[in-house]
Amino acid sequence: MSARLETARAVAVAALRRLAGMAATLLVTSFLVFSSLYLAPGDPVSFLIRGRSPDPQELVALRHRYGFDKPFPVRYWNWLDGVLHGDFGQSYLFHQSVAAVIWSRLPSTLLLVAVSTLMIAVVGVGAGVVGALRRGTRTDSAVLLMVTFGAAVPSFVAAIVLRSVLGVRLGWFPTIGNGTGTLDRLHHIVLPAIALSVTFMALVTRVTRSAMLDELRREHVEVALSRGLPRRTVVRRHVFRNALGPVVTVSGLLVSGMLVSTAIVETAFGMSGIGSLLVQSVDELDFQVVQAIVLLVVAAFVVVNTLVDLLYPLIDPRVAAAGSAR
């Protein structure tokens, strides 16, 4: 019994160590994002108020956050403190706090990412499984073709093709905006979600197919068949289950790519969300919004990847053992 307790303790220690690493990474990346402002030409405060005329209180607040009246580490600390309390500064374009602006547009982007993820999971993984099981047949060739082209079709190309064919020519889907009401919103989100998923679907299909082909060759699959289990059961319990590892790892990397691509898709479809907000803010020289979004995207990437790392031992127990043996 104590052996199991030992392993549990080791797993917990490894998890804590991983979380501490995550915190350190978040700290460093936030520092980098904070410091990026100082790369801009000129002094930071005048950079931030380019083309605008803020009132004196805002100017004082800005000088306090970014000005030279305090040493650099202290300025970073104050900024970080603000960020952790939800204060990302002010948006000049919207005359609101950055946090409020982001918060109002976050749900739309989250919905888009969620629908895309669902598509990638179902179609991407499904196609990979089918391709592997029917390797060498025409179905597999179709899957490989889809992978090659999907990997080369960027979201903006997919967007214009979808818009012109399914939107304008056939009129099946709306081409602009978010829509109102649940059903209408879903209707509006189909084309953008597909445009967003194309490249990532290709990647997931490729990884899934490759992992499944690897696992199909393993001897324990033959052993299971030799015990009289139906082929479908063996594929589910021993091939697919074992192929999950690489697929899950890849998904962690997908997240940041998808978040950034929302900028393209939302702009192409005239939707209002975090992605289009990013582009808008760059256009309108609203740097504090840009900085906040960059920070959030990078933080999301770090957190999601840490979660994937922590969940991995559940998929492959050998990893847990290796971790605790260190």
- Positions 194 through 213 that interact with another protein (CB under 8 A): none
As measured in angstroms, the least distance from the Cβ of 321 to another protein is: 6
- Positions 296 through 315 that interact with another protein (CB under 8 A): 297-298, 301-302, 305, 315
As measured in angstroms, the least distance from the Cβ of 35 to another protein is: 11
In the numeric block, which tokens belong to residue 212? Answer: 């499944």
From residue 146 to residue 185, what is the string marking binding to another protein with x (rule CB under 8 A)? --xx-xxxxxxx--xx-xx---xx-----x----------
- Positions 46 through 105 that interact with another protein (CB under 8 A): none
In the numeric block, which tokens belong to residue 122? Answer: 């179902």
For another protein, which is the closer residue by CB, 125 or 198?
Answer: 198
- For residue 313, which of 7, 11, 5, 9 has the smallest C-alpha distance? 11
- What lies within 8 Å, CB to CB, of 70 at 6+ separation is 64, 78
117 lies in the binding site for another protein (CB under 8 A): no
- Positions 29 through 48 that interact with another protein (CB under 8 A): 29, 32, 36-37, 39-41
Specify whether the CB–CB gap between 69 and 63 falls below 8 A.
yes
- For residue 134, which of 241, 213, 221, 228 has the smallest C-alpha distance? 213
Q: Which stretch binds another protein (CB under 8 A): 9-17, 85-93, 180-188, 264-272?
A: 264-272
Specify whether the CB–CB gap between 127 and 205 falls below 8 A.
yes
- For residue 195, which of 119, 256, 121 has the smallest C-alpha distance? 119
As measured in angstroms, the least distance from the Cβ of 226 to another protein is: 5
In the numeric block, which tokens belong to residue 73? Answer: 């580490």
For another protein, which is the closer residue by CB, 119 or 264?
Answer: 264
Specify whether the CB–CB gap between 300 and 256 falls below 8 A.
yes
For another protein, which is the closer residue by CB, 129 or 298?
Answer: 298
25 lies in the binding site for another protein (CB under 8 A): yes
Residue type, 235: V
Specify whether the CB–CB gap between 47 and 69 falls below 8 A.
no
281 lies in the binding site for another protein (CB under 8 A): yes
For another protein, which is the closer residue by CB, 68 or 149?
Answer: 149
20 lies in the binding site for another protein (CB under 8 A): no
Residue type, 174: P
For another protein, which is the closer residue by CB, 125 or 259?
Answer: 259
- Positions 224 through 263 that interact with another protein (CB under 8 A): 224-231, 233, 237-238, 241-242, 256-257, 259-261, 263
Q: Per residue in 7-42, is it b (16+ CB within 10 Å) or e — as a string?
A: eeebbeebeeeeeeebeebbeebbeebbeebeeeee
Separation between Cα atoms, residue 37 and residue 27, nearest integer Å: 17
As measured in angstroms, the least distance from the Cβ of 146 to another protein is: 12
As measured in angstroms, the least distance from the Cβ of 213 to another protein is: 14
